[in-house]
Amino acid sequence: MERVDYIVIGSGIAGLRATLELVGHGEIVVLTKERVTQSSTEYAQGGVAVVMSDDDDISLHYEDTLRAGAGLCDPDPVKVLVEEGPTYIEELIGWGARFDRVGDQLELGQEAAHSRRRILHARGDSTGREIVRTMLGRLRRVDGVQVRQHALSLQLLTDDRRCLGVRYVDTITGECHAMVARAVILATGGAGQVFAQTTNPDVATGDGIAMAYRAGALVADMEFVQFHPTALNLPGAPRFLLSEAMRGEGGRLRNSRGEAFMPRYHPRAEMAPRDVVARAIISEMERTGTATVFLDVRHLGASFLKRRFPRIYRTCLKYNLDIARDLIPVSPAAHYIMGGVRTDVFGRTSIPGLYAAGEVACSGIHGANRLASNSLLEGLVFGARAAQAAKEDGWERPSLGRLAHRCDERASWRVPDQIVQRVREAMWQKVGLIRSGRELQQALALLEGLDSPASDDVTRNFLTVAQLIARAALFRRESRGSHYRTDYPHRDDERWLVHSGQQRGRSPFPIPVGDVFPEAGGDISQVMGRTDS
3-class secondary structure per residue, 41-73: HHHCCCCEECCCCCCCCHHHHHHHHHHHCCCCC
The rounded distance, in Å, linking the Cα atoms of 272 and 435 is 21
Closest CA to 463 of 447, 443, 444, 446: 447
Q: What are phi and psi of 495, to 5 degrees?
A: -105, -25
The helix, strand and coil proportions of the chain, stated in percent and rounded to the nearest 5, come to 35, 20, 45
For residue 197, which of 432, 443, 440, 469 has the smallest C-alpha distance?
432
Which secondary structure element, helix H or strand E, spans residue 387, and what is its range? helix 374-393
C-alpha to C-alpha distance for 39 and 34, rounded to whole angstroms: 9
Could you give phi then psi for residue 470, rounded to 5 degrees? -65, -40
Give every CB contact of residue 454 below 8 A, 6+ residues apart in sequence. Answer: none
Amino acid 56 reads: D
Instruction: Please state, in angstroms and as integers, the Cα–Cα distance from residue 334 to each residue in 98, 190, 200, 270, following that order.
Output: 29, 10, 8, 19
Q: By C-alpha distance, which of 364, 344, 340, 363 is closest to 468?
A: 340
Closest Cα to residue 338, out of 201, 494, 473, 460? Answer: 473
Please report, to the nearest 10 degrees, the dihedral formed by the alpha carbons of residues 385, 387, 389, 390 taken in order. Answer: 160
Q: Tell me which residues are annotated as active site.
A: 274
Pairing relationship of beta strands 219-220 and 498-502 according to DSSP bridges: antiparallel
Backbone angles phi, psi at 252, to 5 degrees: -125, 145
Question: Is there a contact between 40 and 228 (Cβ–Cβ < 8 Å)?
Answer: no
In which order are the strands placed within the sheet that holds 225-232? 225-232, 328-337, 293-296, 252-254
Give the SS3 label for residue 533: coil
